[in-house]
């Protein structure tokens, strides 16, 4: 028969009691925090401590493309985040699981936004100016280049998000950008697709006065286009920068006209009859009223260009 006498366990001399958790002696073993440095990080992953897992480029070696890190897949992405590789962090909706609203991702807050980027939650990535710290010019954000733009979207810097056509790749129709819907518009701004940025009034939420859009200033105009607010899109000549000839605005063509309205450039606002589409009767232009005139000049429609005394009632 087996000896039924109690057996001493560990370093103590007291017999082990049934139902009592055994106490271990950590005196000769590393403490649970021994792998962490004075900066509160794992020593091997700390740049300041010159951790063994940090490469010469200042990144974690396993996640460094230049070093050919083990966590980088053949598509140049982190393997766990790569859709084509079926990464472990990708959910059934094709998004990162932690950032997926439908999956109830851990990084999604109660307002349906990324917690770190939510103003109401006081997200860690929100700066004192109410913007994402990394893209805030005033804070000198890490993603802002020397030209004052987001580095990834800057043509002069050869940004990674710029395609061969000189556009942001995700918004380029020719490249089949991920943000372009089947109607040829940016998906979030498409009414037919029920875009996330479209409000109940059928306008872009940020630019809707009735919704109190964030882009609407106290004067009832788009903040970036408001002269009184010193809007970012207003140049030193008091015009929209993109439409200013003296500033060489991006919407001004080589003929000195608005590119979209230039016949020689085949502008998008020019119809097949050689007229501005909005004022073309044959095309049923949006500026043509039911009487076949330009709405703003029609007396019967009480056009904005017609003196009140000339209105027909």
Pair of tokens at residue 180: 């372009």
Each residue's pLDDT tens digit, 274-305: 999 999 999 999 999 999 999 999 999 998 89
Q: How far apart (Å, rounded) are the C-alpha atoms in residues 90 and 79?
A: 10
Q: Which residues contact 176 (CB under 8 A, 6 or more apart)?
A: none
Q: How far apart (Å, rounded) are the C-alpha atoms in residues 305 and 313?
A: 16
Q: Which residues face 168 on adjacent strands?
A: 162
Phi, psi torsion values for 258, nearest 5 degrees: -65, 125
pLDDT of residue 309: 83
Q: Is-above-0.95 flag for pTM? A: no
pLDDT of residue 10: 47
Each residue's pLDDT tens digit, 112-124: 899 999 999 999 9
Q: Which residues face 15 on adjacent strands?
A: 8
Q: Which residues face 96 on adjacent strands?
A: 90
Q: How far apart (Å, rounded) are the C-alpha atoms in residues 294 and 310?
A: 16
Q: Which residues face 186 on adjacent strands?
A: 180
CB 69 within 8 A of CB 62: yes
pLDDT of residue 39: 86
CB 47 within 8 A of CB 56: no
Q: Digits of tens for pLDDT over the chain (313 positions)?
A: 445 555 554 444 445 556 665 665 544 544 445 788 888 889 999 988 989 999 999 899 999 998 999 999 999 899 999 999 999 999 999 899 999 999 999 999 999 899 999 999 999 999 999 899 999 999 999 999 999 899 999 999 999 999 999 999 999 999 999 999 999 899 999 999 999 999 999 999 999 999 999 999 999 999 999 999 999 899 999 999 999 999 999 999 999 999 999 999 999 999 999 999 999 999 999 999 999 999 999 999 998 898 888 888 7
Q: How far apart (Å, rounded) are the C-alpha atoms in residues 271 and 231?
A: 32
pLDDT of residue 33: 58
Pair of tokens at residue 122: 């006081």
CA R_g for the chain: 31
């Amino acid at each position: 028969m087996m000896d039924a006498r109690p057996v001493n366990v560990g370093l103590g001399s007291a017999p082990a009691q049934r139902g009592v958790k055994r106490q271990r002696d950590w005196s000769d073993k590393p403490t649970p925090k021994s792998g962490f440095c004075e900066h509160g990080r794992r020593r091997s992953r700390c740049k300041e401590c010159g951790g063994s897992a940090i490469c010469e480029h200042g990144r974690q070696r396993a996640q460094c493309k230049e070093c050919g890190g083990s966590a980088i897949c053949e598509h140049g992405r982190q393997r766990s985040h790569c859709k084509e590789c079926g990464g472990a962090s990708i959910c059934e909706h094709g998004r990162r699981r932690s950032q997926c609203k439908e999956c109830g991702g851990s990084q999604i807050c109660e307002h349906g936004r990324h917690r770190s980027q939510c103003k109401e939650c006081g997200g860690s990535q929100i700066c004192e100016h109410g913007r994402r710290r990394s893209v805030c010019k005033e804070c000198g954000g890490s993603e802002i280049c020397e030209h004052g733009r987001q580095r990834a979207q800057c043509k002069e810097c050869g940004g990674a998000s710029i395609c061969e056509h000189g556009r942001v790749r995700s918004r380029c129709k020719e490249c089949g950008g991920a943000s372009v819907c089947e109607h040829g518009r940016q998906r979030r701004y498409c009414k037919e697709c029920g875009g996330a940025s479209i409000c109940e009034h059928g306008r872009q939420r940020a630019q809707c006065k009735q919704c109190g859009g964030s882009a609407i200033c106290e004067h009832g105009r788009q903040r970036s286009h408001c002269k009184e607010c010193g809007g970012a899109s207003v140049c030193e000549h008091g015009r929209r920068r993109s439409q200013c000839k003296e500033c060489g605005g991006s919407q001004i063509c080589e003929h000195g006209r608005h590119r979209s309205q230039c016949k020689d450039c085949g502008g998008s606002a020019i119809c097949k009859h050689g007229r501005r589409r909005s004022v073309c009767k044959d095309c049923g232009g949006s500026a043509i009223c039911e009487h076949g005139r330009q709405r703003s000049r029609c007396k019967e429609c009480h056009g904005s260009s017609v003196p009140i005394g000339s209105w027909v009632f």
